[in-house]
Amino acid sequence: MKIVVVGGGAREHALASVLSACGHELLFTHENPGFFSLGTVRPVAPEVLAAGADLVVVGPEGPLADGLVDRLATLGVPAFGPTRTAAALECSKIFCKRFCHRHAIPTADFIVVEPGDTPVLDRPWVVKLDGLAAGKGVWVSSTIEQAQEALAAAQATHPGQPVLLEDRLYGPELSVLALCDGEDLVVLPPARDHKRRFNLDQGPNTGGMGAIAPVETSDLAACVAILRTTVAGMAAEGTPFRGALYGGFMLTPAGARLLEYNVRFGDPETQAILPLLAEDLAPWLLGAATGRLPGSNVKLLDAYACAVVIAAATYPEGRASSQIYGLPAESDNLRVYQGGTTLRADSRGHIRLWASGGRVLTITGLGADPGLARRRAYQGAAEVRFLDADWRTDIGAGPWS
Ligand code: AMP
Ligand code: GLY
């Protein structure tokens, strides 16, 4: 198949790697140095590259929120991802909560603070911006004072917009991703993302510092039931969901609760999940895009994968800017995905790889057990050197694994 990949991060590098390994011809809209050996990079609008393509795979949420899939539909090109309307599950947290309420999906209690309202809070609510915020729109409070301050900050930085207040839940988190064709879905190996910046889940929330998959949990069936209710509910409301539906769940003592939906592959979950596939992903993406998944189970390796994000020391605020040395060699047990990298000429005109982003690389180790997958990922990470490179050392090592 001729496939256009939209997006330029480590998630898209992981998608492109598995598609390229199955012999597909790839075209890229973004410049990621990791793409050059996998296909043709042409930084133009996806609609331009899509002419004559069999499929467009949309990685990030921005183009989905912007209606790219709707525009491609009018051009007659199948695109993997939801329409703009269905993308509201991620793009409006308030839409998502009200949808959960309509369909009796277990989630934290919530209230919506309308613009201009200044309620006096009665408990340490979790404060959330309604719209897309690149992982920076959630304040998890421990005290009423913190929640009140977070609400004031949310209102001050986003005047005229409603703010969501949610009951704080407790428990381990689980990311469950499913490929959906509007009516049916197929579940990918459940993953655990590590969203906080520092070891032991300390520090600010980030886009994700690493992930492990699969995660064994008795709560998986409940999570999958919620995904199925969601797909059925979206179809019943006239906005069928096609694409990757990513449920972020909290496994509370009272059972699984939906924290949020993303309407795309997760980053870094994708870098842990896709290396576990034992068959071509393309027919599944095309089937989801065209309304008919080709089966009910994706074939998987009998293995675990641990994905460690190598970030700039200043991430999530800052970016790295330094040459990268010691990029580990890929093997059956080690994958190297580029996220925030770029090519630069040195003073002698030699092209060098530079770190240029917040999340620079994801190193994924594979193994027959989670411990071996971790060790391989960290052996790979230890080879990487650039100024102020930093990573968590406890990915996949919590009390949960
Ligand atoms: P979200 O973008 O809604 O997934 O929130 C980002 C992170 O904030 C989640 O992964 C959780 O770690 C945390 N979080 C969000 N909502 C809640 C909640 N209701 N209770 C506790 N933690 C939460
Ligand atoms: N891993 C979190 C996200 O993709 O939003």
CATH 3.30.1490.20 residue ranges in the chain? 109-166
Sequence-distant (6+) residues with CB within 8 A of 133 are: none
Which listed ligand is nearest to 138 at the C-alpha? 1
Q: What's residue 289's pLDDT?
A: 98
Q: What's residue 205's pLDDT?
A: 87
Read off the pLDDT of residues 76-132 as tens digits, 9 standing for 90 and up.
999 999 999 999 999 999 999 999 999 999 999 999 999 989 888 899 999 999 988
Q: Give residue 399 CA to ligand 2 midpoint distance, Å.
A: 21
For the cut 50, the answer to whether the pLDDT of residue 141 exceeds it is yes
DSSP lists the bridge partners of residue 309 as: 362
For the cut 90, the answer to whether the pLDDT of residue 173 exceeds it is yes
Question: What global pTM score does this model have?
Answer: 0.96
Instruction: Tell whether ligand 2 has an atom less than 6 A from the beta carbon of residue 208.
Output: yes
- Helices in 187-302 by DSSP H: which ranges? 220-236, 269-273, 282-290
Substitution site in 105, 129, 250 for ligand 1 pocket (most atoms within 8 Å of beta carbon): 250
Substitution site in 259, 260, 262, 264 for ligand 1 pocket (most atoms within 8 Å of beta carbon): 259
CA-nearest residue, atom 3 of ligand 2: 266
CATH 3.30.470.20 residue ranges in the chain? 171-290
Q: Which residues have CB under 6 Å of ligand 1? A: 108, 126, 138, 140, 166, 168-169, 173, 195, 205, 248, 259-260
Cβ burial of 348 (10 Å; 0-12, 13-18, 19+) is: exposed
Read off the pLDDT of residues 278-288 as tens digits, 9 standing for 90 and up.
999 999 999 99
Question: What share of the chain has pLDDT > 70, as a percent?
Answer: 99
Q: With cut-offs at 50, 70 and 90, classify the pLDDT of residue 136.
A: confident
Q: Give residue 347 CA to ligand 2 midpoint distance, Å.
A: 38
Read off the pLDDT of residues 41-85 as tens digits, 9 standing for 90 and up.
999 999 999 999 999 999 999 999 999 999 999 999 999 999 999
Substitution site in 132, 177, 193, 249 for ligand 2 pocket (most atoms within 8 Å of beta carbon): 193
> Mean pLDDT over residues 149-175, rounded?
94
Report the topology of domain 304-390.
Glycinamide Ribonucleotide Synthetase; Chain A, domain 4 (3.90.600)
What's the CATH number for 171-290?
Answer: 3.30.470.20
CATH 3.40.50.20 residue ranges in the chain? 2-80
| Average pLDDT score, the chain | 96
Ligand 2 atom with minimal separation from the 266 CA: 4
CATH architecture of the domain with residue range 109-166: 2-Layer Sandwich (3.30)
Q: Give residue 80 CA to ligand 2 midpoint distance, Å.
A: 18
CATH 3.90.600.10 residue ranges in the chain? 304-390
Which listed ligand is nearest to 169 at the C-alpha? 1
Q: What's residue 336's pLDDT?
A: 98
Read off the pLDDT of residues 310-338 as tens digits, 9 standing for 90 and up.
999 999 999 999 999 999 999 999 999 99
Read off the pLDDT of residues 213-226 as tens digits, 9 standing for 90 and up.
999 999 999 999 99
DSSP lists the bridge partners of residue 345 as: 351
- Helices in 237-281 by DSSP H: which ranges? 269-273
Helix (H, G, I), strand (E, B) or coil at 101: helix
CA angle 379, 382, 385 (to 5 degrees): 150
Residue reference for tokens 């230890």: 382
Ligand 1 atom with minimal separation from the 128 CA: 3
Q: What's residue 381's pLDDT?
A: 98
Q: What's residue 401's pLDDT?
A: 38
The CA distance from 29 to 15, in Å, is 14
15 or 401, greater pLDDT:
15
Question: What share of the chain has pLDDT > 90, as a percent?
Answer: 94
Q: With cut-offs at 50, 70 and 90, classify the pLDDT of residue 134.
A: confident
Q: What's residue 118's pLDDT?
A: 87
Q: Give residue 60 CA to ligand 1 midpoint distance, Å.
A: 20
For the cut 90, the answer to whether the pLDDT of residue 350 exceeds it is yes
What's the CATH number for 2-80?
Answer: 3.40.50.20
